[in-house]
């Protein structure tokens, strides 16, 4: 099974649990913190990756860390399940899926907005409103700056791209003039 | 040409820019996550359609074939080596299509309809989807008009009708392409547009075909769709569908089309390659499960449309190459069962000098008989019977020479009929001439002529009739049936000719002539 479909299943299962307990945000934060701790420590990754270390030892390491970090029981249990199923190293992918799953369930879409310059916050609200009208859902904006666009704005929601950048318009003009003659 | 000033040019460009409407373009994109062997896996593109055309960077195009839960499997056309992981892929919203129209006639194009000859762009604004469901039962009518191949053996015994699918099958080097080419050459002036689709052929072979067609003025009504061996498997897979789509345009506008798929064994191999790379499960001979449908949906597009639909027709001559005469391999059996008959070519016959090397016993045409003109039908009936008896006797006659007279006569007749059915390449013959020759042979007018003199007899006879009795050929072509009057004329003409021909033979003092006869 591909990593993506595996991640989707774990994310959906976890989402079911946390929605029932009403602790979605907390668990999500704890898991991201855990992920950054793991990526920050190569020793820790080595311990979990190394197949010559017996499962019991790995579990002890994880239990100690969990006790030390004082995470919620849901988070701790989830990590233990991942360890037992040898999926702990795929936590990054699962976290990404989990965030999207939570967004889907609460009716939020993520829009990646790319502009040539920083967008002032007054414009951000207007953009958010227009995008929610367009999609019919609440929109969370993520901004990136790419000077190659020259001007204008491109927005990507899921796999749909709304491209209003000057760069694309120039390309279209070029195609039109070069293509017709 | 009138000179154009520089500021005029900039004016035109300025106009273009001023008229340019700024707006937001909405596209759907995906990202390449894996690429190799002409196949790409793309993440995203959630709403993509099966068979949709996709835009990759560097002018590479792709065709979405596998729609999976979180990725799309795409086959790539063009220089797919330039596509890299992480590249953006755009939807075009169009199902794969090819340009069609009269502008294509006389052109050599690839599977995407792009020109391969150096004669400029193909100016047409009509497009047909490459995959199209074949016309239904109501839109069709039975095959009724003949499609003359110009080959005596085929037109007499395995007749092909407009709208039929007739398989040409045989080993390598048995003259399969030659049969197809002769058929194209014979369509000159018969309002049939011929589309030759080369799949996985050597580019040199295709160049040869193009030259032959050009030399015989056949390119005026022909189109070549070429996906040669050096093209990616995806192109070879698409080529016959593109050819069919181009043909359907003419068919739907009430014209007659002949498509030749040369050959479908290589097409199946190309599809197997794509399928295996897309990780579809392999079946018999490693072909995927839908290889039957691959060919049946293609050949089902051959049709004779009803009068309400314009009465156009699309005839298909698929070609299959067998290995050592094995027609029970997977692809040959499939295509034999799909088509309305087959022309079976044999290496043994070819080497014995019987060309076209058609095995008359194994070749059949299931619907063409109703398309044959009456005159041909009447002479072909006797021909078929005589040849069948000859084949049976010939096997026995090898054991001894002590044969009674009737048997000897039958053997002699068979030898002469076999000789009469031989025909040189690129020399298609009109149906009325075929009728004349076959009538002469089946009615015993050739029995007293030595087998080795028959070819000369045939050419001399045809020249004699053309020069001295052109009315006879005309009346056969017009009445399309052998009336008693025409039969009497035939008898008279043949007797006259034989008297004269016999004399010239004696004058030439050919030692082999009548001495060897009977």
Per-residue pLDDT tens for B251-307?
A: 999 999 999 999 999 999 999 999 999 999 999 999 999 999 999 999 999 999 999
Does the structure show a pLDDT above 90 at B101? yes
Query: Which chain A residue's Cα is nearest to B45?
Result: A159
The per-residue pLDDT for range A82-121, each reduced to its tens digit, is 999 999 999 999 999 999 899 888 888 989 999 998 888 8
Minimal CA separation from A67 to chain B, in Å: 37
ipTM here: 0.73
Nearest CB to B29 within list A2, A161, A173 = A161
Please tell me which of A37-46, B173-182, B378-387, B388-397 the model is most confident about, judged by mean pLDDT. B173-182
Q: What is the Rg, in whole angstroms, of the alpha carbon atoms belonging to chain A?
A: 22
Q: Show residues of chain B in contact with A2, CB under 8 Å.
A: 70-71
Strand pairing report for B39-44 and B72-77: antiparallel
Backbone Cα Rg of chain B: 28
Chain A residues within 8 A of B16 when measuring between CB atoms: 173, 176-177
Q: Which residues have CB under 8 Å from A29's CB, separation 6+?
A: none
- Give the nearest partner residue to A159 out of B20, B45, B69, using CB atoms: B45
Q: Which residues contact B293 (CB under 8 A, 6 or more apart)?
A: none
pLDDT digits (tens, 9 = 90+) for B419-432: 999 999 999 999 99
Judge: B23–A5 Cβ closer than 8 Å, yes or no: no
Label residue A181 by pLDDT band (50, 70, 90): very low
The angle at the Cα of A151, spanning A145 to A155, to the nearest 5 degrees, equals 60
**Statement: residue B178 has pLDDT above 90:** yes
Cβ of A159 within 8 Å of Cβ of B24? The answer is: no
Which candidate, B128, B111, B383, B135, places its Cα nearest to that of B240?
A: B111
The confidence score (pLDDT) of residue B1 equals: 63
In the predicted model, what is the mean pLDDT of chain B?
91
For residue B328, pLDDT beyond 60 = yes
- Average pLDDT for chain A: 88
Does residue B366 carry a catalytic annotation?
yes
C-alpha distance across the termini of chain B, in Å? 76
Question: Closest to A159 (Cβ–Cβ): which among B16, B17, B44?
Answer: B44
Average pLDDT over residues B72-91: 92
SS3 per-residue string spanning B68-128 = CCCCEEEEEECCHHHCCCCCEEEEEEEECEEEECHHHCCCEECCCCCECCCCCCCCCCEEE
Q: Which site among A110, A148, A158, A159 would you substitute to test the B interface, given the most B Cβ atoms closer than 10 Å to its Cβ?
A: A159
* A175 interaction partners in chain B (CB closer than 8 Å): none
Give pLDDT, residue A169.
Answer: 86
Contact A161 B26 (CB under 8 A): yes
Catalytic residue among B140, B280, B366, B384: B366
Chain segment B269-280, per-residue pLDDT in tens: 999 999 999 999
Three-state DSSP state, B226: strand
User: CB-CB: which of A2, A8, A161 is closest to B27?
Assistant: A161
Higher per-residue pLDDT: B243 or B24: B243
What residues in A contact B55, CB-CB < 8 Å?
A: none
CB B248 within 8 A of CB B288: no
Q: Which residues of chain B are within 8 Å of residue A162 when distances are taken between CB atoms?
A: 24-26
> Residue A1's pLDDT is what?
65
For residue B438, the SS3 value is helix
Contact B24 A164 (CB under 8 A): yes
CA distance B99 to chain A (A): 17
């Amino acid at each position: 099974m591909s990593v993506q479909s595996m991640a989707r299943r774990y994310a959906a299962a976890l989402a079911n649990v946390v929605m029932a307990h009403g602790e979605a945000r907390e668990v999500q934060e704890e898991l991201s913190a855990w992920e950054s701790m793991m990526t920050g420590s190569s020793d820790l990754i080595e311990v979990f990756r190394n197949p010559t270390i017996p499962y019991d030892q790995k579990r002890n390491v994880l239990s100690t860390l969990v006790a030390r970090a004082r995470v919620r029981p849901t988070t701790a249990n989830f990590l233990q399940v991942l360890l037992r199923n040898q999926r702990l190293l795929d936590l990054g992918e699962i976290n990404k899926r989990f965030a999207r799953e939570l967004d889907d369930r609460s009716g939020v879409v993520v829009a990646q907005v790319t502009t040539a310059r920083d967008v002032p916050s007054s414009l951000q609200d207007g953009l958010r409103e227009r995008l929610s009208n367009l999609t019919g859902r609440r929109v969370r904006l993520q901004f990136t700056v790419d000077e190659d666009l020259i001007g204008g704005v491109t927005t990507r929601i899921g796999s749909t791209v709304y491209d209003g950048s000057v760069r694309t318009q120039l390309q279209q003009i070029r195609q039109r003039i070069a293509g017709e003659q | 040409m009138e000179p154009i000033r520089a500021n005029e040019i900039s004016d035109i460009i300025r106009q273009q820019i001023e008229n340019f409407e700024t707006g937001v373009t909405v596209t759907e994109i995906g990202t390449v996550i894996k690429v190799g062997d002409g196949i790409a896996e793309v993440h995203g593109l959630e709403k993509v359609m099966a068979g949709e055309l996709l835009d990759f960077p560097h002018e590479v195009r792709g065709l979405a074939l596998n729609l999976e839960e979180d990725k799309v499997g795409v086959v790539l056309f063009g220089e797919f080596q330039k596509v890299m992981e992480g590249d953006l892929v755009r939807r075009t919203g169009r199902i794969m299509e090819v340009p069609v129209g009269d502008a294509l006639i006389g052109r050599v194009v690839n599977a995407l309809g792009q020109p391969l000859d150096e004669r400029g762009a193909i100016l047409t604004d009509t497009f047909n989807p490459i995959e199209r469901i074949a016309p239904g039962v109501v839109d069709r009518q039975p095959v009724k008009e003949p499609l003359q191949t110009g080959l005596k053996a085929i037109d007499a015994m395995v007749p092909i009708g407009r709208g039929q699918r007739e398989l040409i099958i045989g080993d390598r080097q048995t003259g399969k392409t030659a049969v197809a080419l002769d058929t194209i050459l014979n369509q000159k002036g018969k309002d049939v547009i011929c589309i030759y689709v080369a799949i996985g052929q050597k580019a040199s072979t295709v160049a040869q075909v193009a030259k032959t067609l050009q030399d015989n003025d056949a390119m005026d009504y022909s189109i070549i769709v070429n996906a040669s061996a050096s093209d990616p498997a995806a192109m070879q897979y698409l080529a016959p569908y593109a050819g069919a789509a181009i043909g359907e345009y003419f068919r739907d506008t009430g014209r007659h089309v002949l498509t030749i798929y040369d050959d479908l064994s290589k097409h199946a191999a190309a599809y197997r390659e794509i399928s295996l790379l897309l990780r579809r499960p392999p079946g018999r001979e490693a072909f995927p499960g839908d290889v039957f449908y691959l060919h049946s949906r293609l050949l089902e597009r051959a049709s004779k449309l009803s009068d309400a639909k314009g009465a156009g027709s699309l005839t298909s001559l698929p070609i299959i190459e067998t290995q050592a005469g094995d027609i029970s391999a997977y692809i040959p059996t499939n295509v034999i069962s799909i088509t309305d008959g087959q022309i079976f070519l044999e290496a043994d016959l070819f080497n014995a000098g019987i060309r076209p090397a058609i095995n008359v016993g194994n070749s059949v045409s299931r619907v063409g008989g109703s398309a044959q003109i009456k005159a041909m039908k009447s002479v072909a009936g006797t021909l078929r019977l005589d040849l069948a008896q000859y084949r049976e006797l010939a096997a026995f006659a090898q054991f001894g020479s002590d044969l009674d007279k009737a048997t000897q006569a039958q053997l002699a007749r068979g030898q002469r009929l076999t000789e009469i059915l031989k025909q040189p390449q690129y020399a298609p013959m009109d149906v009325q001439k075929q009728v004349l020759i076959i009538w002469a042979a089946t009615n015993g007018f050739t029995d007293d002529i030595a087998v080795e003199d028959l070819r000369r007899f045939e050419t001399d006879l045809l020249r004699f009739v053309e020069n001295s009795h052109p009315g006879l050929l005309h009346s056969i072509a017009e009445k399309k049936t052998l009336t008693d009057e025409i039969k009497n004329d035939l008898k008279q003409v043949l007797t006259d000719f034989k008297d004269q021909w016999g004399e010239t033979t004696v004058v030439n003092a050919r030692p082999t002539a009548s001495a060897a006869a009977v």
